Amino acid sequence: MFFKKSIIALTGLFLCVFLVVHLSANCILLLPEDIARDAYNSYSTTLRESSFIKIIAYILYVSIIVHALYALLITLKNRKAKPQKYVLNHSKENSAWASKNMGILGTLILIFIIIHLANFWARIKLGLGEEVGMDAFGHKDVYEVTYSLFQNIYFVLFYTLISIPLALHLHHGLKSAFKTLGFYHKKGLQIIAKIALIYAVIMGVGFGIIPIIVYLK
């Protein structure tokens, strides 16, 4: 089980790094439309054509699946260790809500990832659903896919609201991953806790606000 926990921590940290790159790229969407379209499309074309990114993408898919699967197995084991709940339990007095509900938060994020992949990955990479057009430079118009999706207020709301469980999950996950992997320097852990908070806020606000800005563009 310790091996599984370590793998959850390692894949989690990898996903944390991935999110930084993802959010940075999303910031292109904040530029004026004529610049943003070109920059976003050529960026995504570069990614699709890079064999290095191809390897990273496979590591990413495996990370998400393994992270979720091992977390599920560990949660089942943990439930077996405490099948009978207390009649009265004031656990909020000794621990944060998010730390006790990583499974629920993770499940919400997983549902989001599936919908998100259906919206983008399936259309752009697999060619499923409505065909993706080309821009003036002959690149797949990924900007248009994004822009048109965020003209739908329900998708904007969904993407924005899901950033809350994302931030909560990242905050606890980042803090815990280092402890799981055996980092036990007291001051270092205090610094990591602060970094985790700042990181979670930036990710939550960043991913949450961009769909709104695109909607209002």
Q: Report if residue 187 touches another protein, rule: CB under 8 A.
A: no
**Residue number, 77 or 217, with CB nearest to another protein:** 77
**Nearest distance from C-beta of residue 84 to another protein, angstroms:** 5
**Nearest distance from C-beta of residue 137 to another protein, angstroms:** 48
Torsional sign, CA 117, 22, 40, 205: positive
Q: Report if residue 181 touches another protein, rule: CB under 8 A.
A: yes
**Residues between 104 and 163 that touch another protein (CB under 8 A):** none
Q: How far is CA 194 from CA 82, 96, 114, in A?
A: 31, 15, 30
Q: Report if residue 2 touches another protein, rule: CB under 8 A.
A: yes
Q: Report if residue 69 touches another protein, rule: CB under 8 A.
A: no
Q: Report if residue 83 touches another protein, rule: CB under 8 A.
A: yes
Give residues with Cβ within 8 angstroms of 30, minimum separation 6.
36, 210, 213
- With b for 16 or more beta-carbon neighbours within 10 A and e for fewer, the 142-177 pattern comes to bbbbbbebbeeeebbeebbebbebbbbbbbbbbbbb
**Residue number, 24 or 91, with CB nearest to another protein:** 91
Q: Report if residue 26 touches another protein, rule: CB under 8 A.
A: no
Maximum distance among all Cα pairs of the chain, rounded to whole angstroms? 65
Cα–Cα distance measured from residue 180 to residue 193, given in angstroms and rounded to the nearest whole number: 14
Q: Report if residue 180 touches another protein, rule: CB under 8 A.
A: yes
140 three-class SS: strand
181 three-class SS: coil
Q: Report if residue 27 touches another protein, rule: CB under 8 A.
A: no
**Nearest distance from C-beta of residue 69 to another protein, angstroms:** 15
**Nearest distance from C-beta of residue 205 to another protein, angstroms:** 24
Tokens representing residue 23 in the block = 């959010």
From the list 73-81, 122-130, 134-142, 154-162, the region that binds another protein by CB under 8 A is 73-81
**Residue number, 91 or 148, with CB nearest to another protein:** 91
Cβ neighbours, 10 Å, residue 36: 19
**Residue number, 21 or 189, with CB nearest to another protein:** 189
Q: Which residues sit at the interface with another protein, rule CB under 8 A?
A: 1-2, 5-6, 74, 77-91, 93-96, 99-100, 102, 172, 175-176, 178-184, 186, 189
